[in-house]
Amino acid sequence: MKYFAFSSFFALAGLVVAFIFLGGVNAAYIVFLLALLEVSISFDNAVINAKVLNTMDEKWRFRFITYGIPIAVFGVRFILPIVIVALASSKGFVEITQLALNDAAAYAALLSEVMGTIYAFGGAFLLMVFLEFFFDEGKEISWIKGLEQNAFVVKISKINFIELFVASVVGIILLGISQDISIGIAYFIGLALYALIRGIDNALAKTGAKSGVIGFLYLEVLDASFSLDGVIGAFALSNNVFIIMIGLAIGAFFVRSLTIYFVEKKVLSEFIFLEHGARYAILFLATLMFVQIFHHIPEVIVGSVGMIIIVIAFVHSVIHSKANRK
């Protein structure tokens, strides 16, 4: 299909480069696995991206693909982890970059040392993505009605900033359990960033203005929150930064292609519970990120949980649609 033509070409090129220059069949196979890991973890990201892109004009949709790809591939999946490691250690950005390129095993070890703060930041942002949707009084469709429409939820949904309050309580609990101030700081930075982006977006919406910049920024931070888990998990498969970059880049391209496909084919309108499934998948991913601050969870589980939830939502959407037609 035309939506996946360039992604497929890029994937083929990446596999060829890995095969010729990075280690033959073994390298190409790891690139393939990394691409699958990225897509499985970020599939729900594509659904939410599509929801946001539906509110943006063609110009910003185009920029999401053209400008967003290098940001997603190089900025989020290569530079951002280096910045995080540099900030959390006594080493400089250049030194960490050289370490990533020349001694990937040592870089992976440093990244592993700060993964608690990475998970706290990403998990906080993703938790807010779910809570804002869950407590949205304007939701016209409910999927799990016993959970989303019970009297208690309906009542507290009327409280201003209830999602921020709930997320703050989670952060305090996380800080109490971890007894690590850096985790608390990272968590509340994630909350603050989400609140800032959505606050600006809501303020512009009330004045009748539209800002593609804010939507674009929201999508990029959302992408970063999803990809952090994939970047860390990638080192379980390879210590070669170039293999990791190629594999995750292929996955990122396919996620973007899926997003455009969902928008132009109006998939979210046809399968009405798909967004709900994506939001619950995000909740589970955020929860797994918090758990991984203390205990490692195999990447296959992290990737599979979200996919399973979305498949269930998709099947339920199909059943619901057929029942309505009858």
pLDDT digits (tens, 9 = 90+) for 167-180: 999 999 999 999 99
Residues 6 or more apart from 204 whose CB is under 8 A from it? 210, 211, 214
Better pLDDT: 205 or 104: 104
CB 48 within 8 A of CB 222: yes
DSSP at 279: H
Please check whether residue 134 is in contact with residue 155, taking contact to mean a CB–CB distance below 8 angstroms.
no
CA atoms within 13 A on the CB side of 84: 29
The secondary structure of 125-161 as a DSSP string is HHHHHHHHHHT-TT----SSHHHHSSHHHHHHTTSTT
The confidence score (pLDDT) of residue 211 equals 60
Residue 207 has pLDDT above 60, yes or no: no
Give dist(CA 214, CA 137) in Å, integer.
23
Residue type for position 93? F
Position 9 scores a pLDDT of 92
Residue 84's pLDDT is 78
Range of the domain at 242: 2-325
Q: Name the domain count of the chain.
A: 1
- In this prediction the pTM is 0.82
Q: How much of the chain, in percent, has pLDDT values that exceed 70?
A: 94
Residue 16 has pLDDT above 90, yes or no: yes
Q: Identify the pLDDT of residue 236.
A: 67
Average pLDDT estimate for 33-43: 83
**What's the Cα-to-Cα distance from 7 to each of 43, 65, 86, rounded to whole Å?**
15, 11, 32
- pLDDT at residue 164 in the model: 93
Q: Say if residue 129's pLDDT is above 70.
A: yes
Confidence of residue 66 (pLDDT cuts 50, 70, 90): confident
pLDDT in the model for residue 204: 63
Residue 115 pLDDT exceeds 70: yes
Kindly state the greatest CA–CA separation across the chain. 65
